Structure 1
Protein backbone atom coordinates (compact mmCIF):
# COMPACT_ATOMS: atom_id res chain seq x y z
CA UNK A 1 0.00 0.00 0.00
CA UNK A 2 1.24 3.47 -0.93
CA UNK A 3 -0.02 6.17 1.42
CA UNK A 4 0.44 9.67 0.02
CA UNK A 5 0.18 13.18 1.43
CA UNK A 6 -2.02 15.63 -0.48
CA UNK A 7 0.91 18.00 -0.99
CA UNK A 8 2.67 15.22 -2.94
CA UNK A 9 -0.26 14.51 -5.27
CA UNK A 10 -0.18 15.23 -8.98
CA UNK A 11 -3.08 15.71 -11.36
CA UNK A 12 -4.41 12.32 -12.40
CA UNK A 13 -3.44 10.41 -9.27
CA UNK A 14 -6.15 7.95 -8.26
CA UNK A 15 -6.69 7.94 -4.50
CA UNK A 16 -8.80 6.12 -1.98
CA UNK A 17 -9.53 7.28 1.55
CA UNK A 18 -7.78 4.69 3.69
CA UNK A 19 -10.05 5.05 6.72
CA UNK A 20 -13.42 6.20 5.41
CA UNK A 21 -13.42 4.04 2.26
CA UNK A 22 -11.17 1.20 3.36
CA UNK A 23 -13.50 -1.65 2.39
CA UNK A 24 -15.84 0.05 -0.06
CA UNK A 25 -16.42 3.37 -1.69
CA UNK A 26 -15.22 5.08 -4.80
CA UNK A 27 -11.86 6.14 -6.06
CA UNK A 28 -10.97 9.81 -6.29
CA UNK A 29 -8.99 11.46 -9.08
CA UNK A 30 -6.81 14.27 -7.76
CA UNK A 31 -7.22 17.40 -9.89
CA UNK A 32 -5.58 20.19 -7.86
CA UNK A 33 -5.17 21.62 -4.39
CA UNK A 34 -7.97 23.80 -3.09
CA UNK A 35 -7.76 25.63 0.23
CA UNK A 36 -5.00 23.23 1.25
CA UNK A 37 -5.18 20.59 2.60
CA UNK A 38 -8.51 20.13 0.77
CA UNK A 39 -8.49 19.48 -2.97
CA UNK A 40 -10.58 19.36 -6.11
CA UNK A 41 -11.22 15.89 -7.39
CA UNK A 42 -13.33 13.72 -9.59
CA UNK A 43 -14.73 10.30 -8.81
CA UNK A 44 -14.60 6.95 -10.56
CA UNK A 45 -17.47 4.48 -10.30
CA UNK A 46 -17.97 1.03 -11.79
CA UNK A 47 -21.66 1.76 -12.24
CA UNK A 48 -23.33 3.63 -15.04
CA UNK A 49 -26.19 5.87 -14.02
CA UNK A 50 -27.93 7.46 -16.99
CA UNK A 51 -26.79 11.07 -17.48
CA UNK A 52 -24.63 10.93 -14.33
CA UNK A 53 -21.56 8.93 -15.37
CA UNK A 54 -19.50 8.63 -18.55
CA UNK A 55 -17.71 5.44 -19.57
CA UNK A 56 -13.94 5.70 -19.55
CA UNK A 57 -11.58 3.48 -21.56
CA UNK A 58 -8.46 1.41 -21.01
CA UNK A 59 -6.19 4.09 -22.51
CA UNK A 60 -7.30 6.52 -19.77
CA UNK A 61 -5.32 4.54 -17.17
CA UNK A 62 -1.63 3.80 -16.77
CA UNK A 63 -0.92 0.21 -15.77
CA UNK A 64 2.22 1.09 -13.82
CA UNK A 65 3.50 3.95 -11.69
CA UNK A 66 6.59 5.95 -12.64
CA UNK A 67 8.72 3.57 -10.54
CA UNK A 68 7.48 0.57 -12.56
CA UNK A 69 5.26 -0.97 -9.88
CA UNK A 70 1.80 -2.08 -10.95
CA UNK A 71 -1.15 0.19 -10.30
CA UNK A 72 -3.87 -1.27 -8.10
CA UNK A 73 -6.54 0.47 -10.17
CA UNK A 74 -6.72 0.21 -13.94
CA UNK A 75 -9.75 0.24 -16.24
CA UNK A 76 -12.50 -2.07 -15.01
CA UNK A 77 -15.84 -0.85 -16.38
CA UNK A 78 -14.77 2.53 -15.01
CA UNK A 79 -17.09 5.50 -15.30
CA UNK A 80 -16.34 9.13 -14.55
CA UNK A 81 -18.93 10.67 -12.24
CA UNK A 82 -19.94 13.99 -13.80
CA UNK A 83 -19.04 16.22 -10.87
CA UNK A 84 -16.20 18.55 -9.89
CA UNK A 85 -15.91 17.72 -6.21
CA UNK A 86 -14.52 19.55 -3.21
CA UNK A 87 -12.75 16.72 -1.39
CA UNK A 88 -11.85 17.21 2.24
CA UNK A 89 -8.51 16.27 3.78
CA UNK A 90 -10.26 14.48 6.64
CA UNK A 91 -11.30 11.78 4.15
CA UNK A 92 -7.68 10.67 4.37
CA UNK A 93 -5.11 9.46 4.87
CA UNK A 94 -5.10 8.54 1.21
CA UNK A 95 -3.79 5.49 -0.55
CA UNK A 96 -2.30 6.04 -4.02
CA UNK A 97 -3.97 3.35 -6.11
CA UNK A 98 -3.34 4.37 -9.70
CA UNK A 99 -2.67 7.14 -12.15
CA UNK A 100 -4.45 8.38 -15.24
CA UNK A 101 -2.66 8.65 -18.56
CA UNK A 102 -2.35 12.03 -20.29
CA UNK A 103 -5.35 11.00 -22.42
CA UNK A 104 -7.28 10.15 -19.25
CA UNK A 105 -6.43 13.48 -17.62
CA UNK A 106 -7.67 15.33 -20.72
CA UNK A 107 -10.86 13.22 -20.73
CA UNK A 108 -11.58 14.12 -17.11
CA UNK A 109 -10.80 17.80 -17.63
CA UNK A 110 -12.98 17.96 -20.76
CA UNK A 111 -15.90 16.47 -18.83
CA UNK A 112 -15.74 18.36 -15.53
CA UNK A 113 -13.95 21.70 -16.07
CA UNK A 114 -17.18 23.49 -17.01
CA UNK A 115 -19.00 22.23 -13.91
CA UNK A 116 -19.42 24.16 -10.68
CA UNK A 117 -17.45 22.98 -7.67
CA UNK A 118 -19.63 21.10 -5.19
CA UNK A 119 -19.31 18.74 -2.25
CA UNK A 120 -20.74 15.23 -2.28
CA UNK A 121 -24.00 16.20 -0.55
CA UNK A 122 -24.58 19.00 -3.09
CA UNK A 123 -23.92 16.55 -5.93
CA UNK A 124 -26.48 14.09 -4.54
CA UNK A 125 -29.02 16.88 -4.15
CA UNK A 126 -28.38 18.16 -7.69
CA UNK A 127 -28.64 14.77 -9.33
CA UNK A 128 -31.69 13.64 -7.37
CA UNK A 129 -33.48 16.86 -8.42
CA UNK A 130 -32.65 16.06 -12.03
CA UNK A 131 -34.13 12.59 -11.63
CA UNK A 132 -37.34 14.01 -10.19
CA UNK A 133 -37.80 16.23 -13.26
CA UNK A 134 -38.00 13.26 -15.62
Structure 2
Protein backbone atom coordinates (compact mmCIF):
# COMPACT_ATOMS: atom_id res chain seq x y z
CA UNK A 1 0.00 0.00 0.00
CA UNK A 2 1.24 3.53 -0.78
CA UNK A 3 2.61 5.57 2.12
CA UNK A 4 -0.12 7.08 4.29
CA UNK A 5 -2.91 5.00 2.74
CA UNK A 6 -4.99 2.75 4.97
CA UNK A 7 -7.95 0.48 4.30
CA UNK A 8 -11.20 2.41 4.64
CA UNK A 9 -14.74 1.05 4.68
CA UNK A 10 -17.11 2.27 1.97
CA UNK A 11 -18.41 5.80 2.53
CA UNK A 12 -20.76 8.39 1.06
CA UNK A 13 -21.08 12.13 0.83
CA UNK A 14 -22.37 15.01 -1.24
CA UNK A 15 -23.16 18.68 -1.61
CA UNK A 16 -25.42 20.94 0.46
CA UNK A 17 -28.45 20.93 -1.84
CA UNK A 18 -28.37 17.19 -2.62
CA UNK A 19 -27.99 17.59 -6.40
CA UNK A 20 -24.62 15.79 -6.33
CA UNK A 21 -23.92 12.74 -4.18
CA UNK A 22 -21.13 10.19 -4.26
CA UNK A 23 -20.42 6.70 -2.99
CA UNK A 24 -16.89 5.36 -2.57
CA UNK A 25 -16.16 1.64 -2.54
CA UNK A 26 -14.11 0.22 0.34
CA UNK A 27 -10.36 0.21 -0.18
CA UNK A 28 -7.20 2.27 0.32
CA UNK A 29 -7.63 5.95 1.17
CA UNK A 30 -5.45 8.67 2.63
CA UNK A 31 -6.73 11.45 4.87
CA UNK A 32 -4.65 14.63 4.73
CA UNK A 33 -4.77 18.39 5.05
CA UNK A 34 -3.49 20.67 2.28
CA UNK A 35 -2.41 24.22 3.10
CA UNK A 36 -1.53 25.39 -0.46
CA UNK A 37 -2.92 28.70 -1.72
CA UNK A 38 -4.98 26.96 -4.42
CA UNK A 39 -6.76 24.82 -1.82
CA UNK A 40 -7.22 27.83 0.46
CA UNK A 41 -8.87 29.81 -2.32
CA UNK A 42 -10.87 26.85 -3.68
CA UNK A 43 -12.41 26.16 -0.26
CA UNK A 44 -12.52 29.74 1.04
CA UNK A 45 -10.76 28.38 4.11
CA UNK A 46 -7.38 28.10 5.80
CA UNK A 47 -6.81 24.59 4.45
CA UNK A 48 -8.52 21.74 2.64
CA UNK A 49 -9.16 18.49 4.54
CA UNK A 50 -9.05 15.80 1.86
CA UNK A 51 -9.68 12.05 1.48
CA UNK A 52 -7.66 10.68 -1.45
CA UNK A 53 -8.88 7.62 -3.35
CA UNK A 54 -8.54 6.24 -6.88
CA UNK A 55 -11.09 8.08 -9.03
CA UNK A 56 -12.52 4.84 -10.45
CA UNK A 57 -13.82 3.89 -6.97
CA UNK A 58 -16.16 6.91 -6.85
CA UNK A 59 -19.72 6.56 -8.18
CA UNK A 60 -21.64 9.79 -8.74
CA UNK A 61 -25.34 10.53 -8.39
CA UNK A 62 -25.73 13.82 -10.23
CA UNK A 63 -22.94 15.42 -12.20
CA UNK A 64 -20.40 17.74 -10.60
CA UNK A 65 -19.05 20.63 -12.65
CA UNK A 66 -15.27 21.03 -12.95
CA UNK A 67 -12.87 23.89 -13.31
CA UNK A 68 -9.16 23.51 -14.11
CA UNK A 69 -7.36 25.47 -11.38
CA UNK A 70 -3.96 24.63 -12.89
CA UNK A 71 -2.36 22.47 -15.55
CA UNK A 72 -2.55 19.45 -13.20
CA UNK A 73 -5.62 20.04 -11.04
CA UNK A 74 -9.37 20.06 -11.62
CA UNK A 75 -11.75 21.26 -8.91
CA UNK A 76 -15.18 19.65 -8.74
CA UNK A 77 -18.20 21.46 -7.32
CA UNK A 78 -21.98 21.44 -7.37
CA UNK A 79 -23.26 23.81 -10.06
CA UNK A 80 -26.49 24.38 -8.10
CA UNK A 81 -25.26 25.25 -4.59
CA UNK A 82 -21.53 25.80 -5.18
CA UNK A 83 -20.27 23.25 -2.66
CA UNK A 84 -16.60 22.39 -3.34
CA UNK A 85 -16.51 18.58 -3.67
CA UNK A 86 -13.02 17.52 -4.75
CA UNK A 87 -9.62 18.07 -6.23
CA UNK A 88 -8.75 15.70 -9.10
CA UNK A 89 -5.32 15.01 -10.59
CA UNK A 90 -4.30 12.00 -12.66
CA UNK A 91 -6.14 8.87 -11.57
CA UNK A 92 -6.73 10.14 -8.02
CA UNK A 93 -9.50 12.22 -6.56
CA UNK A 94 -9.31 13.98 -3.20
CA UNK A 95 -12.77 14.48 -1.72
CA UNK A 96 -13.40 17.40 0.62
CA UNK A 97 -13.83 15.97 4.12
CA UNK A 98 -16.60 18.47 4.85
CA UNK A 99 -18.77 16.70 2.27
CA UNK A 100 -18.51 13.28 3.96
CA UNK A 101 -21.66 11.81 5.47
CA UNK A 102 -21.91 12.17 9.27
CA UNK A 103 -20.10 9.40 11.10
CA UNK A 104 -17.49 8.90 8.38
CA UNK A 105 -14.08 8.66 9.99
CA UNK A 106 -11.42 11.23 9.10
CA UNK A 107 -7.93 11.05 10.61
CA UNK A 108 -5.33 13.11 8.71
CA UNK A 109 -1.93 11.45 8.43
CA UNK A 110 -0.15 14.38 6.77
CA UNK A 111 -0.10 18.13 6.20
CA UNK A 112 1.00 19.21 2.73
CA UNK A 113 2.20 22.58 1.42
CA UNK A 114 2.92 23.76 4.96
CA UNK A 115 4.92 26.70 3.58
CA UNK A 116 1.52 28.31 2.88
CA UNK A 117 -0.02 27.52 6.27
CA UNK A 118 -1.79 30.61 7.64
CA UNK A 119 0.02 32.11 10.60
CA UNK A 120 -3.07 32.35 12.82
CA UNK A 121 -3.91 28.63 12.68
CA UNK A 122 -1.98 27.66 15.85
CA UNK A 123 -4.00 30.21 17.85
CA UNK A 124 -7.20 28.16 17.40
CA UNK A 125 -6.47 26.03 20.44
CA UNK A 126 -8.58 28.24 22.71
CA UNK A 127 -11.98 27.33 24.14
CA UNK A 128 -14.80 26.36 21.81
CA UNK A 129 -18.37 27.60 21.91
CA UNK A 130 -21.50 25.70 20.95
CA UNK A 131 -24.21 27.26 18.82
CA UNK A 132 -26.93 28.96 20.84
CA UNK A 133 -30.11 26.85 21.14
CA UNK A 134 -32.12 30.05 20.48
CA UNK A 135 -30.31 30.50 17.15
CA UNK A 136 -30.78 26.85 16.23
CA UNK A 137 -34.53 27.15 16.99
CA UNK A 138 -35.04 30.02 14.54
CA UNK A 139 -32.85 28.84 11.64
CA UNK A 140 -34.58 27.07 8.76
CA UNK A 141 -32.02 25.11 6.75
CA UNK A 142 -32.45 24.64 3.01
CA UNK A 143 -29.70 22.02 2.89
CA UNK A 144 -30.53 18.48 1.80
CA UNK A 145 -30.73 15.91 4.59
CA UNK A 146 -27.33 14.40 5.35
CA UNK A 147 -26.69 10.77 4.69
CA UNK A 148 -25.47 8.75 7.61
Per the shorter chain, which TM-score range?
A: 0.3 to 0.5
Q: Which has the higher strand share?
A: 2
Q: Which has the higher helix share?
A: 1
Bigger Rg, structure 1 or 2:
2
- TM-score, normalised by the number of residues in structure 1: 0.33
